Amino acid sequence: MGMKDQVRLDRFLAEEGIGSRADVKKMIRAGRVMVNRERARQGDRKIDPEEDEVLADGKRVRRNSALTLMLNKPAGVVSATKDENERTVIDLIGEPWAKRLFPVGRLDKDTEGLLLLTADGAMSHRLLSPGKHVEKTYFAVVSGAPDPELAERFREGIEIGEKRKTLPAGLRFLSGNEPADEALTPEDLARCGEGECCVIVSITEGKYHQIKRMFGAAGREVHYLKRIAMGGLRLDPALPSGRYRPLTDEEQKRLCPETDADS
């Protein structure tokens, strides 16, 4: 931990939800905040949230904003931290430290499902770096009938107007007779109507509108799109649309196995 990990005590307390900036300043002045067993006197003093023990009214204050959240993104919100006109995924997070978070990659406004929100830039970079080819899996409802030949084309790569063909992608048509995917709910599977089919697609790139463009290149429309997995991490099927929760330690490890090896 270096100097760059230091933050102002009052800011830290406010971000972790102890109170407003004014509240926590008052608490500090009233002697209700301890840092490493000593009474803190000044809000502008620096602390290291990982190393220092901070107590407010005798209770340990930990950095929640170090958590990575799993969000089941609903349609209609944009994957950005700020937007002039639209609701963002960050607006869905009812935590005082939400401002520290940013989405790991993007889903289209009308795409639903697994989106990670984190304040951990290094982790985000590892997951998004093109060289890593982290697999992203989607459930989609597309126009037309199941077609094994299309699965073959996806495997070989598709021309979508980029310099190169897409990397090999997995495409599986769901028949309804076999178990589809543990991250899917019965409501998802019921979305498939007349003249449509349900598919599971896996890609290892993240080109703009990639899945829609891949189906578009085959003359099909994507009517519904939901991300259900990223790397070794699956969307929790018990997490309702629009809700979020922190990743468990187990999920954190599954997501970034390389960090394990480092430590």
- Answer yes or no: are the C-beta atoms of 251 and 147 closer than 8 Å: no
Three-state secondary-structure class, residue 84? coil
Closer to ligand URA by Cβ: residue 47 or 104: 104
> Which is nearest to 26 in space by CA: 8, 13, 37?
13
* CB nearer to ligand URA: pick between 134 and 225: 225
Residues contributing to the site for ligand URA (CB under 6 A): 107-108, 111, 209-212, 225
Output the CA angle 242-169-116, nearest 5 degrees. 25
Give the closest residue to 197 by CA, choosing from 169, 171, 235, 234: 171
Q: How far is the CB of 209 from ligand URA (least distance, A)?
A: 4
Which residues are part of the catalytic machinery? 108
Q: How far is the CB of 76 from ligand URA (least distance, A)?
A: 13
**CB nearer to ligand URA: pick between 65 and 210:** 210
Residue 214 contacts residue 62 (beta carbons within 8 Å): no
- To ligand URA, the closest distance from the beta carbon of 111 in angstroms equals 3
* Token pair 């970034």 in the structure block, residue: 256
Burial code of 182-194, b = ≥16 C-beta within 10 A, e = fewer? ebbeeebeeebee
CB of 109 to ligand URA, least distance (A): 8
Instruction: State which residue, 22 or 128, has the beta carbon closest to ligand URA.
Output: 128
